[in-house]
Amino acid sequence: MTAIDWQRTVLVLLPPDALERHLCSSVLDLLERHAFTPVRYDVLWHRPPNQDSWQERNISSVWEAYFYRQVDLVFDLGPTLALLVEDGQADVSPEPPHKRLRALKGASHPAEAAPGTIRRDFRAINVMLDIIHTSDSPEDSELEASVFFGPGLGRPLDGGQTELRELVALLEAGIPRETREYDDVRAGLRSKITAAVWNDLTAEARKLAPGLATDPRPGAGAELAALLPGGASHPLAELVSCEFLPDHPQVDLKRGAAQLAVYGLTLDRWEHAVLRTSMTFPPLRRDS
């Protein structure tokens, strides 16, 4: 195998949320327009067994340990596409490849990412559901490649990009395209709860509830919960009133899922991942 020049080669991950949203092809197009060409690839169908060692710094100094376990929610959504991309402008650009690609992907918090970056233009959900990961340095790329590829460093793309693009098309064709952002997921949860208890609402509540269910204003959920039979004492009132944002009262989604089941309702994997991670990491809002 040809030796990897880590000064011009960057590890890139397109995680399950990118595949769920059918964004991989578009991200690959953008990378290639900026002269980043995939040279090796692999599909990770499960959480990497030595991921904890890679995330040791985040676990010990950046996030509280239980925050880190939310990474598992992301990997549980489906496969991850791991790539090594080579910078075709490495010899002429004043910026090194890792720095250039870091600028292209945008800030970790998508609301802080500048227009023209991947995370802003493709509307990443939050820090966890962030569409793309790239290594920050040649040393990080080499280390992370050993975590996500193993000793073989994936499959070479010596014959062009057709093979990779066909694989991405298969992966995306295998799942319905996910279009719901944070505000959509929260409104969807409130809407289906409202529909489930519709017959128990007063006539006045039925007039107000549909608008409140989709209202993005802070506090709209609490107003909706007050319309439920019994108000705040209703079994689903906590879920309805929850903002699912940091610095707001939190809910236990496992317990919430059990309460929803009594009414014949469920949280799908995407809803659970978006709501759970957004309680810790601020999401990009529809009006941003």
Convert the chain into a string of H (helix), E (strand) and C (coil).
CCCCCCCCEEEEEECHHHHHCCCHHHHHHHHHHCCEEEEEEEEECCCCCCHHHHCHHHHHHHCCHHHHCHHHHHHCCCCEEEEEEEECCCCCCCCCHHHHHHHHHCCCCHHHCCCCCHHHHCCCCCCCCCCCEECCCHHHHHHHHHHHCCCCCCEECCCCCHHHHHHHHHHHHCCCCCCCCHHHHHHHHHHHHHHHCHHHCCHHHHHHHHHHHCCCCCCHHHHHHHHCCCHHHCCCHHHHHCCCCCCCCCCCHHHHHHHHHHCCCCCCHHHHHHHHHHCCCCCCCCCC
Max Cα-Cα span within the chain: 72
Calpha distance 174→172 (Å, rounded): 5
Scan for tokens 């949203």, then name that residue: 21
Work out whether the CA dihedral 193, 197, 201, 206 comes out positive or negative.
positive
Residue type, 172: E
| Residue 133 bears catalytic tag | yes
Of 133, 234, 248, 272, catalytic = 133
- Give the residue numbers marked as catalytic: 133
